Amino acid sequence: MPRYNFPRVVVTGIGAVTPIGNNVEEFWNSMLEGKSGTDYITKFDASQFATRIANEVKNYDPLLHMNRKEVQRMDLFTQYAMSSTVMAIEDAQIDFEKTDKNRVGVIIGSGIGGMWTYHYQQEELYKRGGNPDRISPFFIPMLIADIAAGYVAIRWGLKGPNYATTSACATSSHAIADAFMLIQRGDADVMVVGGSEAVICPMGVGGFNAMKALSTRNDDPKTASRPFDRDRDGFVMGEGGGILILETLEHALNRGAKIYAEISGIGLTDDGFHITQPAPGGEGAVRSMKLCIEDAGLTINDIDYINAHGTSTQYNDKNETEAIKTLFGERAYKISISSIKSMVGHLLGAAGAVEAIATVLAIKNGIVPPTINYFTPDPDCDLDYTPNKPKSKEIRAAISNTFGFGGHNASICFKAYEE
């Protein structure tokens, strides 16, 4: 049984803009095909960079979901968030005019915010001899990480809890966790929740290159992201957005909503160890997954799938594997695991939301998405990572892991909906 007698929380709508599909259907089908979104960077001239590849969103048209004036006043990360939100609301078939808007909240996180806006405005400033009069009055509203949540609230007149989360790679998992808790404590009936990121820009790529965090497999982009593979050499940066509509079960049933899955537990911890390296043995990840399972009222024997953080870096993949083995013991070898970062790259602040959507779809469809580019087994990573091809499997409960710089760990437990 769950630890507390809280309202049940369900997922009723999803929307996504990703490097392998600009809507959920394209995203899911591309994952099942094992499609890589990695290619050469087109958003700027990366010829002088150690890394010249990334997972860019392709053929994106913001005018499908916003008008031209709105687009001009939004950073790209906000555009991705808005498009994802429009699609999630349409998918949920929720009519906010028939809903108490005071009880509808929005939490949309971003790890960094409007980095392209900062780039363009600084470029304009120096082009004009440092004249501050050239700075746009929209500079700050376009830059700040909370503006996506603000725009969503304004467009639909939503007046419940509203803010952004920022915790590096765990950003939008924390957004989902916060929304879950706000609904449980009775502060909202519906939450629009997720994350967005768009930092494939000179300072974004250059900064991660300086940390030696990115893959430099420029001669073979499609196979650059290799989670859990022995020859992994760093993550591949991605971009995009993901939004989920969460509701109390009662609210969803009263309006006849379809239900993808139920959020049943969360686990939030910190390593308290290092600004970028995970704690030895994945100690913080062990605790976040353990808390998550306990919060859901489940046991380790109930977990059939783990959507891994799986970044394709040496430290993360080894430590996450150790964490899973420490917590699950021998059962670790029976759990299906996959990292969709092998296909979409690392979406940073949007990773948690997009990977949560993948987890929900895996439960709903009974299919585990693959970890592609798994060529050479690593003795330190010896679990079932669903190599290269999807696998049909009944999934009763699943965990989505995200771990961020600063030692932030977030694990979300989803389970198949049962009446």
φ, ψ for residue 347, nearest 5 deg: -85, 15
Beta-ladder partners of 129: none
Which candidate, 151, 131, 146, 29, places its Cα nearest to that of 85? 151
- The active-site residue, picked from 65, 169, 201, 381, is 169
Q: In this structure, are residues 263 and 413 in contact, taking their beta carbons and an 8 Å threshold?
A: yes
Instruction: List C-alpha distances in Å: 17 to 134, 298, 357.
Output: 32, 32, 11
Between CA 216 and CA 224 the distance in angstroms is: 8
Which candidate, 366, 417, 365, 413, places its Cα nearest to that of 258? 417
Between CA 56 and CA 30 the distance in angstroms is: 15
For residue 309, indicate whether it is catalytic: yes
For residue 408, indicate whether it is catalytic: no
Which residue's entry shows tokens 């997720």?
Answer: 194
Between CA 94 and CA 135 the distance in angstroms is: 40
Measured from the Cβ of residue 387, the count of other Cβ atoms closer than 10 Å reads: 17
Q: In this structure, are residues 337 and 191 in contact, taking their beta carbons and an 8 Å threshold?
A: no
End-to-end CA distance of the chain: 15
**For residue 138, what are its two tokens?**
């929209």
- The active-site residue, picked from 65, 174, 346, 408, is 346
Beta-carbon contacts of residue 106 (< 8 Å; ≥ 6 apart): 149, 152, 153, 158, 160, 161, 162, 191, 192, 193
- The active-site residue, picked from 174, 309, 381, 408, is 309
Query: Rounded to the nearest 10 degrees, what angle do helices 115-127 and 202-210 cross at?
Result: 110
For residue 169, indicate whether it is catalytic: yes
Catalytic residues: 169, 309, 346
